[in-house]
Chains A and B, each alone.
Chain A
Amino acid sequence: QVQLQESGPGLVKPSQTLSLTCSVSGGSISSGYWSWIRQPAGKGLEWVGLIYTGKGTNYDPSLKSRVTISIDTSMNQFSLHLTSVTAADTAVYYCGSGGSPIDYWGQGILVTVSS
């Protein structure tokens, strides 16, 4: 069974870049789809984007201008970069295996945008 673990800063200043990494174990990241999802406190799930074999990407249209998802097969990790963050980007960020559906989810990491 694939296991995923998010890591990165829990606090980011407004206008800066949010950067998170998802470490994958129990499976190779060289194939398949890998996703990022976020959830503001007390609210529903919001899809951020995904990356797939061949390093193609697909992002939510509302975030597309600010998001980059990349993959490092040597480290079996994939990453999320979200630029020009505001308080509205404060959320628990999850990484997941799969695109549709998302088969397995990481435990999530709370990222707060605040000065």
Chain B
Amino acid sequence: SYDLTQPPSLSVSPGQTASLTCSGDKLGDTYTSWYQQKPGQSPVLVIYQNTKRPSGIPDRFSGSNSGNTATLTIDGTQAMDEADYYCQAWDNRVIFGGGTKLTVL
């Protein structure tokens, strides 16, 4: 089966850049989306089609996809960005990565 691999955790200081990665064998051949989930809340789409931001998502969130790795970048990370982040792709079914817990401290 096709898996998406994310590091379980990442810590950054406020104001720094956070780079969250998602790797998978066929990732470069398909679009990747990213979701933010804060404790007790539903996931929110923050990036789709590798690089696009939905309306209302701050422009400090950006995405890229090259080779077998997709990356969600948060520039000038803020305390409010602390959350779990999931990547997602399509391979005849929806596939989610295991998620990365981003800590801002």
A residues near B, CB below 8 A? 35, 37, 44-47, 50, 58-61, 94, 99-108
Verify A45–B93 contact, CB threshold 8 A.
no
Residues of B within 8 A of A94 (CB): 42-43
Docked pose: A110 CA to B10 CA in angstroms: 28
| Tally of chain B residues near chain A (CB < 8 A) | 25
Verify B43–A45 contact, CB threshold 8 A.
yes
Verify A45–B99 contact, CB threshold 8 A.
yes
Q: Which 10 pairs from chain A and chain B are nearest by CB?
A: A101-B33, A100-B90, A47-B94, A105-B42, A101-B48, A45-B96, A44-B99, A44-B98, A101-B45, A45-B86
Specify the main secondary structure of chain A where it touches its partner.
loop
Q: Name A107's closest neighbour in chain B (CB-CB).
A: B42
Q: Which among B84, B89, B93, B99 has the greatest number of chain A C-beta atoms within 10 A? A: B93
Verify B88–A101 contact, CB threshold 8 A.
yes
Specify the main secondary structure of chain B where it touches its partner.
strand
Residue interface bits B60-79, CB-to-A below 8 A is 1, else 0: 00000000000000000000
Docked pose: A100 CA to B45 CA in angstroms: 11
Residues of A within 8 A of B98 (CB): 44
A-B CB contact pairs (8 Å), 24 listed: A44-B86, A44-B97, A45-B43, A45-B86, A45-B88, A45-B99, A47-B94, A50-B94, A60-B93, A61-B1, A94-B43, A99-B94, A100-B31, A100-B88, A101-B31, A101-B33, A101-B48, A101-B88, A102-B33, A103-B45, A104-B45, A105-B43, A106-B42, A107-B42
Docked pose: A101 CA to B45 CA in angstroms: 8
Residues of A within 8 A of B95 (CB): 47
